[in-house]
A and B are shown apart, each in its own frame.
Chain A
């Protein structure tokens, strides 16, 4: 066996245009969500006179830093609907974008280590099935069969008591996903403007009419914010607040290994999630650092704890080495669900609060956010994810419910 062969690094797939004086819509943030939003604005709504403004380089924030897990096994109906729609889009996007970003549906396993875990997991499998999401409950022997390197013996602190399994879930090459969207956006006429940081907004009363940037002022009828960990900073510039706290979320990779890990394994209780990248690295992540932070790095004890968890579950990892660790800034909400919808400023729209799980939601975020920007009203999938839910109390509380790793 050998690791998968990766395609050659592509030539330039998009232009680097100068910003125009005005656009019909401006998307702030050139990560996965910004790119997907621009793509669906152009494709589904015919809005091609639009720009993506990126303060650094394309897809260099959380899009370059996530652990690429894609799944839709969320507990609540609203979440299952939007994440399952995303998964269905992931299944067709390589063909639609004419770019194979190596979406590998190798399944995702969420381990249960306590009786409470088992009960919650079995409940979630039932809820998933009722929502049309593929889900199975596996006993420890079945877990071992699917992932032979997992330790299912009872000689560890929290033995594996079973797992939920979503066969259609998996991983994709995050940078290729960004390139796929960027190339199509560019073909459709979208201006992708890098090294262009937004420094303020121009408003007429409560209506946004333009964006101030480090590359000049740009007039626009509509603004969509896709800035993840920096959403609060932009909202403050625009004169409103968001119920978001930005935290560092760290991940790490080992050196390259022969394929040993056939699926994706997540454990909330022992607290680590692990897959093996196409090239062969073991990719791991866990929870956020507890403190607020914008520094794209976190504390080492967080890395140490997730490695300890990984070695406990996968004894053969004890001989692997950490090659690299890094952090991204994630935008967490108190109900662990995103905010996609209108903002208190007219013609300004927010897509944020995806927290630790934004990558998997990329296509659905783009589809629904584009709909919201183009029509001025939410798509049925993102309607429950409005900012107002924090006022009405209609929270979508996925904390602990959705196999969300925190």
Chain B
């Protein structure tokens, strides 16, 4: 189970959260002008990254606030948590996967569901400031 550090409530079990898929997908600026192909892209096509992925979560049984997360989709390690409306942090992840797996190699690397130990509510993770209770949560805006 993932241990997720909600920016408002601190570290909580994954069961308190709901997943919101890829982050930073903006509603089309001019929906009436889109072709069918562009609508299909907006409705059905999302990145399916193997590696560091920017995604949204909501603390549905806690503060009920949305936030963004950078997470490795292979090791499930959480690299960063940041507020809605903030751009994706440009972080260097130690040991980041830059090459495909070697053949036959198990891909279970890293600590399962590990977040930074002892993270207090609102504390920074991996050098990226978490805006905590003062996070601008108004809109996606990206």
Contacts and interface: CB of A to CB of B under 8 A. Distances in A.
B1 A246 contact: no
Contact of B112 (A56, A230, A290, A297): A297
Interface residues of B, number: 36
B67 interface: no
Interface in B18-69: 18-19, 21, 36-37, 39-40, 43-46, 48-50, 53, 55
Nearest to B39: A391
Contact of B76 (A55, A214, A293, A334): A293
A332 B20 CA distance: 15
Given A296-B107, A299-B113, A197 B100 contact: yes
Contacts of A197: 100-103
A233 B53 CA distance: 13
A299 B14 contact: yes
Contacts of A230: 50
Contact of A195 (B2, B15, B104): B104
From DSSP, what is the main secondary structure of chain A's interface residues? loop
B74 interface: yes
A158 interface: no
Contacts of B18: 290
Contacts of A325: none
Contacts of A290: 18-19
Nearest to B99: A199
B73 A293 contact: yes
Contacts of A76: none
Given A290-B18, A301-B14, A241 B101 contact: no
Question: Interface extent on A, as a size class?
Answer: 20 to 34
A295 interface: yes
A55 B46 CA distance: 25
B48 A292 contact: yes
A296 B108 contact: yes
B55 to A, nearest CB: 7
21 contacts: A55-B101, A55-B103, A56-B103, A230-B50, A232-B48, A233-B100, A242-B48, A245-B46, A246-B50, A290-B18, A291-B2, A291-B19, A291-B73, A292-B49, A293-B76, A294-B73, A295-B75, A295-B76, A296-B108, A301-B13, A334-B44
Given A56-B103, A295-B107, 16 more contacts: A56-B104, A196-B103, A232-B50, A233-B100, A241-B45, A243-B40, A243-B45, A243-B46, A292-B48, A297-B76, A297-B112, A300-B1, A391-B36, A391-B37, A391-B39, A392-B36
